[in-house]
Amino acid sequence: MLEQFETLIEEKNYVALKTQLNDMHPQDIALLLDEVAGNDEREALILFRLLTKENAAEAFVEASSDTQEYLINAFSDAELKSVFDEMFLDDTVDIIEEMPATVVKRIINQSDSETRKLINQILKYPKDSAGSVMTVEYISLKKQWTVRQCFDCIRKQALDKETIYNCYVTDETRKLIGVVSVKTLLLNNYDTVIENIMETDVISADTYADQEYVASLLSKYDLTAVPIVDQENRIVGIITIDDAIDVIEEEATEDIAKMAAIRPSDKPYLEQSVWQIWLNRVPWLLVLMVSATFTGLIINTYESKLAAISTVLFACVPMLMDTGGNAGSQASVTVIRSLAIGDLVPRDVFKVLWKELRVSILLGLVLAIACFAKLQLIDRLLFRFEGYDVITSAVVSLALFITIVLAKFVGAILPLFAKKIKLDPAVVASPFITTIVDALSLIIYCTISIAILS
Amino acid sequence: MLEQFETLIEEKNYVALKTQLNDMHPQDIALLLDEVAGNDEREALILFRLLTKENAAEAFVEASSDTQEYLINAFSDAELKSVFDEMFLDDTVDIIEEMPATVVKRIINQSDSETRKLINQILKYPKDSAGSVMTVEYISLKKQWTVRQCFDCIRKQALDKETIYNCYVTDETRKLIGVVSVKTLLLNNYDTVIENIMETDVISADTYADQEYVASLLSKYDLTAVPIVDQENRIVGIITIDDAIDVIEEEATEDIAKMAAIRPSDKPYLEQSVWQIWLNRVPWLLVLMVSATFTGLIINTYESKLAAISTVLFACVPMLMDTGGNAGSQASVTVIRSLAIGDLVPRDVFKVLWKELRVSILLGLVLAIACFAKLQLIDRLLFRFEGYDVITSAVVSLALFITIVLAKFVGAILPLFAKKIKLDPAVVASPFITTIVDALSLIIYCTISIAILS
């Protein structure tokens, strides 16, 4: 498809280009612009200028920030104004947050004073707060209006609003006193006063609430929008379901990154520079490498004693540590995700430990038996390695059993403890737990080996 | 709050109970029912019987499947019918899929023949397909109708439909030919014929499409519903945004589980039995333990040669393997998540490898230097361990550098390769990659040590 468009550009067949482009969905146009801009930015500009006003704004919002930055720099002032006037304010703010200062200045200069005031206000809210992601275009109604008056008002304002299906009822001081859906309006008589049909128990969130909390409200109560209010309960914006989906996806991505010992980034992978990726990965790798010193210390301490007993004891260390690490991260990842989606709360700690204890004993038994069988059948009989006698194999299997039970315990309790003391459970995740489990399992292994075998 | 309700139940103060309960949101009622049922199931039934018809159905849908099962068994036939009649069909089907056969039979028996037919039809779609999660209650319009006729139709049907804001236009053969939003209807004159204002380029999905694909459509195109069509493009249902959010959360949970070597489950953690959890965790633990045999084999092979060179070489093995594992899973998890949310496609493989190569060299340099410093300053000077001379420390650091570069390469390329051959990238995730990286890094370490130091 890309080639087809490039042929049309070369042929300067702008009529066909214009028709084909504007027939596409804005999201697909944005993908195409990103692709084209990757090869030749000027071609992206040519394509962009063929878009209708509405498609131009929507495609611009969906494009990557690299494409956006190039286009803004290439725009005339009039073009810039026309694109940004067509956009919703929350999208404008999103773009501003990604752009370098000079570009931001140009955008702000092209906005009218009212928009500028609103932009500055939203920019003041902390990153990831409800205020920073909300949209300020919503339908607001008065409680004494009839359904007919409401529909008149909605008809007049609908074009500029992101969603019209939830309308917010405010009193004289702009305080939020109710919500009414277009569905309810349609189900009622034209002369009904909305005070009598509105829902007064409104689920709302504070401007400083975490965006993740707002997304969880939308998800839990199956809402399509949540009103955002200031400290005096005056409505200042709404967060719509499409933004909530983005938040839910972002938060899952962040948690996954943290579990893999990466500092999360809100940019897509291919758009991050090598330096950014490096910076997000190096701190944890360093911390974890240094903390692995403990395992080295333990081995140094026990080395001569172990070597004196049997030469095969060291060969089982990687298997023991890997299995302990895997067992621990199974538990920790399950608990972290359950906490994130609200299936678990810290006070469930005893339920979790009781469950993990039983699971870990079952798992430990199966793995210890399998390990014993493997050592006896594969290492001793098949490969004929020396030193894998029955007692040594049994000691290794016993150490494995204890390691698994311990790993599950540590893996389950650390995230719950982190949540309890208001730390992010995902940060105490797998790699960190692996280090603890490694050290513990090594100590147990060495102690048991020396106690039984020497 | 729980105690407060239990006091009211003991006092048999049903008037206060009824008011307080019905003032709550159905989702919160459901949480309360689950809590109460955990202590005394009969109390949950008492509370449930105080709910209004609408609250009863909504709270029932949101309750845990254990509570649902208990309630269904406790219901009279009339109660059962009244609750299920009030529910949307997609929720009915969800519940049926979780219940044992005897309970399903009772539910089906209480349904009228039309509903029964629809239930059976939906149950025939494969698990996780669009057909199995769609709702069949939607607004359907005819193309020759005016806006006024549409509103009349919507007003008449709105009460029983899950969403009314997207209306689907069909021809005489029920084929989907367009979509029109209530917003568009409100923005147009009452006499406009909808054929002239409907969007004809409808984004729809097949009944057999994967639910994850449908959720990604809703997310990508910022839709609130997607029509589901059969092979003849006849509309048979819709999937709404609230279901899409559940799908997105479930899929993220599944991917996270797979990355931690757990077979995913669609039940919340606390609702899974010990046996289920055990069954989901034991296969990968076993596979990974046996595959760790390779690392054991490698150590067995090199053991005597390494021991002859220096006693400290073994002490560095855990640090080397842990760091390699962490570096590899940083890369693999980033690539897996980027593939899942559509930021990457398999043909980006060279972009990814080029990026990871540069990142891994930078990371490798920093970590190798840090490792050298740690061995010299901490292990040699601080702890005065013997054997950490400059050359040995340099060899360990060199092996670490190569391990990191290799780990990043393996971690980045395996998920892309899996995706390319239509396997699930999350399955070839961290623990599996750790095993490969462990084996590779050990071979490199032993080879380099022997080549340089002996």
Residues A110-152: tens digit of each pLDDT: 888 888 888 888 888 988 899 988 888 899 999 999 999 999 9
Asked whether B96 and B115 are in contact (CB, 8 A), the reply is no
Is residue A352 scored above 70 in pLDDT? yes
Q: What is the CATH number of the domain that holds B348?
A: 1.10.357.20
- pLDDT tens-digit profile of A58-88? 999 999 888 999 999 999 888 898 898 888 8
- Same domain flag for A210 and A73: no
DSSP-assigned letter for residue A197: T
Q: Tell me the chain B residues in contact with residue A351 when contact means C-beta distances shorter than 8 Å.
A: 270
A151, A281, A339, A358: best to mutate for the B interface, most B CBs within 10 A:
A281
- Same domain flag for A164 and A109: no
CA distance linking residue A44 with residue A41, whole number of Å: 5
Nearest-Cα distance to chain B for A6, in Å, is 20
The closest alpha carbon to B92, from B79, B104, B76, belongs to B104
Residue A337 within any structural domain of the chain: yes
Strand partners, A234: A175
Among the partner-chain residues B363, B379, B385, the one whose CB lies closest to the CB of A278 is B363
Residue B281 within any structural domain of the chain: no
**Residue owning tokens 């059948």:** A377
Is residue B325 scored above 80 in pLDDT? yes
Nearest-Cα distance to chain B for A370, in Å, is 8
Among the partner-chain residues B256, B274, B295, the one whose CB lies closest to the CB of A319 is B295
Which residues, in sequence order, are CB contacts of A113 under 8 Å at separation 6+?
none
Residue A304 within any structural domain of the chain: yes
Is residue B190 scored above 80 in pLDDT? yes
- Same domain flag for A355 and A437: yes
- Same domain flag for B74 and B165: no
Among the partner-chain residues A186, A187, A318, the one whose CB lies closest to the CB of B438 is A318
Cα atoms in the 13 Å half-sphere on the side-chain side of B421:
7
Q: What is the mean pLDDT of residues A295-317?
A: 79
Is residue B430 scored above 70 in pLDDT? no
Q: Tell me the chain A residues in contact with residue B358 when contact means C-beta distances shorter than 8 Å.
A: 274
pLDDT at position B454, please?
A: 75
Q: What is the CATH number of the domain that holds B44?
A: 1.25.60.10
Is residue A179 scored above 90 in pLDDT? yes
- Same domain flag for B211 and B89: no
> Least CA distance to A397: which residue of chain B?
B289
Residue B359 within any structural domain of the chain: yes
pLDDT at position B428, please?
A: 72
Q: Tokens representing B320?
A: 């080397």
Among the partner-chain residues A158, A183, A371, the one whose CB lies closest to the CB of B164 is A183
The closest alpha carbon to A240, from A254, A228, A224, belongs to A224
- pLDDT tens-digit profile of B201-240? 899 999 999 998 999 999 888 898 999 999 999 999 999 9
pLDDT at position A430, please?
A: 60
Output the CA–CA distances (angstroms, integers) from residue A335 to A238, A343, B61, B253, in the order listed. 32, 9, 25, 11
Nearest-Cα distance to chain B for A99, in Å, is 20
CA distance linking residue B132 with residue B124, whole number of Å: 8
Q: What is the ipTM of this complex?
A: 0.79
- Same domain flag for A367 and A416: yes
The closest alpha carbon to A297, from B312, B390, B175, B166, belongs to B312
CA distance linking residue B233 with residue B175, whole number of Å: 5
Asked whether B207 and B236 are in contact (CB, 8 A), the reply is yes
Output the CA–CA distances (angstroms, integers) from residue B236 to B113, B171, B175, B242, in the order listed. 18, 14, 10, 19
Last residue of a domain, one of A91, A124, A157: A124
Last residue of a domain, one of B124, B152, B176: B124
Q: What is the mean pLDDT of residues B110-133?
A: 86
Asked whether A166 and A225 are in contact (CB, 8 A), the reply is yes
Is residue A223 scored above 70 in pLDDT? yes
List the Cα angle A274/A275/A281 in 5-degree steps.
90
Is residue A257 scored above 90 in pLDDT? no
Is residue A454 scored above 80 in pLDDT? no
Q: Please state the pTM of the whole predicted model.
A: 0.80
- Same domain flag for B74 and B185: no
Residue B278 within any structural domain of the chain: no
Q: What is the mean pLDDT of residues A241-251?
A: 88
pLDDT at position A88, please?
A: 86
Is residue A359 scored above 90 in pLDDT? yes
Q: Tokens representing B402?
A: 């190569």
Q: Tell me the chain A residues in contact with residue B442 when contact means C-beta distances shorter than 8 Å.
A: 318
**Span between the terminal Cα atoms of chain B, in Å:** 72
CA distance linking residue A228 with residue A26, whole number of Å: 28
- Same domain flag for B310 and B380: yes
Residue B130 within any structural domain of the chain: no
* Domains in chain A, number: 3
The 3-state DSSP class for residue A163 equals coil
* Residue A77 CB neighbour total at 10 angstroms: 10
- Same domain flag for A313 and A393: yes
- pLDDT tens-digit profile of A404-430? 999 999 999 999 998 888 888 887 766
Residue A245 within any structural domain of the chain: no
DSSP-assigned letter for residue B199: B
Q: What is the CATH number of the domain that holds B204?
A: 3.10.580.10
Percent of chain B at pLDDT > 70 equals 99
**Residue owning tokens 């105490």:** A428
Output the CA–CA distances (angstroms, integers) from residue B428 to A113, A261, B295, in the order listed. 54, 18, 19
- Same domain flag for A94 and A151: no
- Same domain flag for B315 and B437: yes
**Residue owning tokens 């195409």:** A32
Q: Tell me the chain A residues in contact with residue B288 when contact means C-beta distances shorter than 8 Å.
A: 322-323, 326
- Same domain flag for B120 and B143: no
| Higher per-residue pLDDT: B60 or A388 | B60
Last residue of a domain, one of A240, A270, A303: A240
Which residues, in sequence order, are CB contacts of B188 under 8 Å at separation 6+?
B147, B197
- pLDDT tens-digit profile of B389-398? 888 899 999 9
The closest alpha carbon to A243, from B15, B241, B140, belongs to B241
Asked whether B239 and B225 are in contact (CB, 8 A), the reply is yes
Q: Which long-range contacts (CB under 8 A, 24 or more apart) does B197-200 make?
A: B197/B147, B198/B143, B198/B169
Helical axes A317-340 vs B317-340, angle rounded to 10°: 40
Residue B248 within any structural domain of the chain: no
CA distance linking residue A66 with residue A30, whole number of Å: 12
Q: What is the mean pLDDT of residues A298-306?
A: 79
Residue A217: give the domain boundaries: 139-240
Is residue A362 scored above 90 in pLDDT? yes
Residue A105: pLDDT band with limits 50, 70, 90 = confident
The DSSP bridge pattern shows strands A235-240 and B139-142 to be: unpaired
